[in-house]
Amino acid sequence: MSRTPPRRTALRGLAAAGTAVIGFDPFTRSWAVTASDRPLHGIPELDGTLHTDEASLSAAADDFGHIVHRRPAAVLRPGSVADVVAMVRFCNKHGIPVAPRGQGHGTNGQAQAEGGLVIETAPLAAVQPVGPGSKTVTVGAGAKWSDVAKASLAHGLTPPVFTDYLELSVGGTLSVGGLGGQTHRHGAQVDNVLELEVVTGAGELLRCSPDRHRDLFHAVLAGLGQCAVIVGATVRLVRAPVTVRHYLLPYDDLRTFLDDQRLLVLEQRFSYVEGQITADASGAFREYVLEAVAYGPPAGEAPDDTALLRGLRHNPSGAEITDLAYYEFLDRLAPGVAALKEAGLWAYAHPWLNLLLPGGRTADVAGGILDALTPDDLGPGGVVLLYPLVRDRLRTPLLRMPDDPVPYLFAVLRTTPPDDAATVERLLAANRSAYDRVRAAGGTRYPVGSVPFDGADWRRHFGPAWPQLAAARKTYDPRGILVPGQGIF
Ligand SMILES: Cc1cc2nc3c(=O)[nH]c(=O)nc-3n(C[C@H](O)[C@H](O)[C@H](O)COP(=O)(O)OP(=O)(O)OC[C@H]3O[C@@H](n4cnc5c(N)ncnc54)[C@H](O)[C@@H]3O)c2cc1C
């Protein structure tokens, strides 16, 4: 039988790793190296599969941002955790960059690895059995939060904190933090992890927790993939409500809106608090909607509108109050996402701006950024979020927070046609100047979006946590192969 010689994948230079890979040959199962064109034999036998076809490589060179495109040499669909260990060891030995990819919902190439190996974690999605009295659930890193919610809800249980969108991987959100409307009560998703199973950059499979390899545990949670690939996580469970009452409360003044949000999270009156800002008919971003949710039994008491809304200064005639099944509430973005996909807007570029502001400066800093924002610069289907967190619930060292008891998450979730490179560039520059303004006011960024950032920016970003991250990187990923797309090391 004759076979066509495989086309060698053309790859550009690698900055992060010591050895520049120029191609992977799927038939001889070897990588060729720029310096000597010496093939690297010995790709391990795998339970899963290694892919070098056009479709797999192009998919791994794209993400939800549709802005950055770095092509890997190969994509691993692991059949087991052992595959991750074997391939990370191989890549470590040869200095080949590696990036785990969950659902690819980063917006700036964070899960890409030019000339390297992308490990799709989706096959590692097992959710261990949950029983009625379980206090935790152990899940594969590739599981989506929707899978985890469904498995635990079958027993009346739930993880305490969710991102707004459920179709993100557990490994992906634990690498960044995982913030949502429940964070003011329970911290971020990373604050609700009891143990992790990880493969370090040196290819060692380890369990880590606050009591075991503590340095690694704290370097992996919100650690942007720099020290290890998460393959499994044990997450806290709490009792789930059967139904929730969902409130949308309109405001016409930014300071009143912020003050009421702050009051609600300090009093912990609701189980969930967020907020959105939209443009009025003139295009000015000054329509504010406070979104709050009260959990019903058995997680909370039957919602009492009078008590819950006491003293709030919203416009009562515009309030919308709805009872929803708990999962329907968690999955509330699903119909909107389906509509965005239908309209082709999911495939637009997403130069997202995600910031964390000190509460005391939120009105003036967010207000200033909103004053300059136009509907065109937000784009069709774009969203502005502004909601408070409670600082003392956020305990993960690498999830950097402003020094303020009630910081605010401020997100300008932009969409713009992906082929209009000039507009994308302009919006990225606008993101950077917004970040500079926020940093000068004592804020920081939530590193999921697209803010042009260099190594010095990252060192400043991590601040007092930098030595810990740098030391863990040296220990656990000594050749520096993991997750070059973050641009940290
Ligand atoms: C529509 C939408 C809604 C969102 N809503 C929220 C929200 O409400 N709250 C919030 O906090 N965030 C939100 N995000 C941001 C989201 O949490 C992050 O972008 C997250 O990293 C995406 O998860 P993912 O599985 O797609 O990760 P990917 O994009 O695949 O990966 C993100 C980064 O994590 C690394 N990584 C992935 N898996 C692993 C692993 N197993 N081990 C180590 N590193 C890994 C990757 O290499 C990459 O650097 C949202 C994003 C989108 C697109």
Alpha-carbon distance of 425 to 412, in angstroms, equals 16
What is the percent of the chain where pLDDT is above 90? Answer: 90
Asked whether residue 13 is domain-assigned, the answer is no
Q: In this model, does residue 244 exceed pLDDT 80?
A: yes
Asked whether residue 477 is domain-assigned, the answer is no
**Same-domain pairing of 281 and 333:** yes
- How many whole angstroms from 447 Cα to the centroid of ligand 1? 10
Asked whether residue 131 is domain-assigned, the answer is no
**Same-domain pairing of 446 and 312:** yes
Q: For ligand 1, say whether the CB of 226 is within 6 Å of any of its atoms.
A: no
pLDDT, tens only, 323-376? 999 999 999 999 999 999 999 999 999 999 999 999 999 999 999 999 999 999
φ and ψ of 75, to 5 deg: -125, 130
CA-nearest residue for atom 28, ligand 1, is 104
Q: Which residue has the tokens 């545990």?
A: 217
Number of domains in the chain: 3
Alpha-carbon distance of 218 to 472, in angstroms, equals 9
Give residue 482's Cα distance to chain centre.
17
Asked whether residue 467 is domain-assigned, the answer is no
Q: Please say which residue of 91, 120, 149 terminates a domain.
A: 120
- How many whole angstroms from 174 Cα to the centroid of ligand 1? 8
pLDDT band for position 314 (50/70/90)? very high
- How many whole angstroms from 32 Cα to the centroid of ligand 1? 31
Q: What's 409's domain CATH number?
A: 3.40.462.10
**Same-domain pairing of 188 and 204:** yes
Which active-site residues does the annotation give?
A: 105, 164, 274
Alpha-carbon distance of 239 to 241, in angstroms, equals 7
CA dist 394 to 88, 178, 201, 354, 417, Å?
31, 11, 27, 17, 36
Asked whether residue 319 is domain-assigned, the answer is yes
**Same-domain pairing of 362 and 400:** yes
pLDDT band for position 37 (50/70/90)? low
Contacts of 265 (CB under 8 A, 6+ apart): 184, 273, 388, 389, 390, 406
CA-nearest residue for atom 53, ligand 1, is 105
Asked whether residue 129 is domain-assigned, the answer is no
Q: For ligand 1, say whether the CB of 483 is within 6 Å of any of its atoms.
A: yes
Q: Which residue has the tokens 């691993």?
A: 76
Substitution candidate for ligand 1 out of 62, 81, 163 with most atoms within 8 A of CB: 163
Residue type, 269: R
pLDDT band for position 33 (50/70/90)? low
Asked whether residue 198 is domain-assigned, the answer is yes
Asked whether residue 125 is domain-assigned, the answer is no
**Same-domain pairing of 280 and 351:** yes
**Same-domain pairing of 293 and 371:** yes
**Same-domain pairing of 153 and 64:** no
Count of CB atoms within 10 A of residue 210's CB? 11
Q: For ligand 1, say whether the CB of 141 is within 6 Å of any of its atoms.
A: yes
Q: What's 219's domain CATH number?
A: 3.30.465.10
Contacts of 336 (CB under 8 A, 6+ apart): none
Substitution candidate for ligand 1 out of 167, 173, 224 with most atoms within 8 A of CB: 173
**Same-domain pairing of 433 and 284:** yes
For residue 248, give its domain range: 243-453
Q: For ligand 1, say whether the CB of 19 is within 6 Å of any of its atoms.
A: no
What is residue 2's predicted lDDT score, i.e. its pLDDT?
Answer: 33
Under 8 Å between Cβ of 222 and 398: yes
Q: What's 79's domain CATH number?
A: 3.30.43.10
**Same-domain pairing of 232 and 310:** no
Q: Are strands 117-120 and 98-101 parallel, antiparallel or unpaired?
A: parallel
Q: For ligand 1, say whether the CB of 482 is within 6 Å of any of its atoms.
A: no
Q: Please say which residue of 239, 269, 285 terminates a domain.
A: 239
**Same-domain pairing of 248 and 359:** yes
pLDDT band for position 21 (50/70/90)? low
Under 8 Å between Cβ of 288 and 254: yes
**Same-domain pairing of 102 and 212:** no
Under 8 Å between Cβ of 482 and 98: yes
Q: Please say which residue of 211, 239, 267 terminates a domain.
A: 239
Atom of ligand 1 nearest to the CA of 105: 26
Contacts of 36 (CB under 8 A, 6+ apart): none
What pTM does this model have? 0.94
φ and ψ of 238, to 5 deg: -130, 170
**Same-domain pairing of 227 and 249:** no
What is residue 189's predicted lDDT score, i.e. its pLDDT?
Answer: 99
pLDDT band for position 209 (50/70/90)? very high
Q: For ligand 1, say whether the CB of 168 is within 6 Å of any of its atoms.
A: yes
Atom of ligand 1 nearest to the CA of 99: 47
What number is the average pLDDT over the span 292-297?
97
Q: In this model, does residue 12 exceed pLDDT 50?
A: no
Alpha-carbon distance of 286 to 295, in angstroms, equals 29
What number is the average pLDDT over the span 269-293?
98
Least confident range from 41-45, 241-245, 293-297: namely 41-45
- How many whole angstroms from 260 Cα to the centroid of ligand 1? 30
What is residue 20's predicted lDDT score, i.e. its pLDDT?
Answer: 53
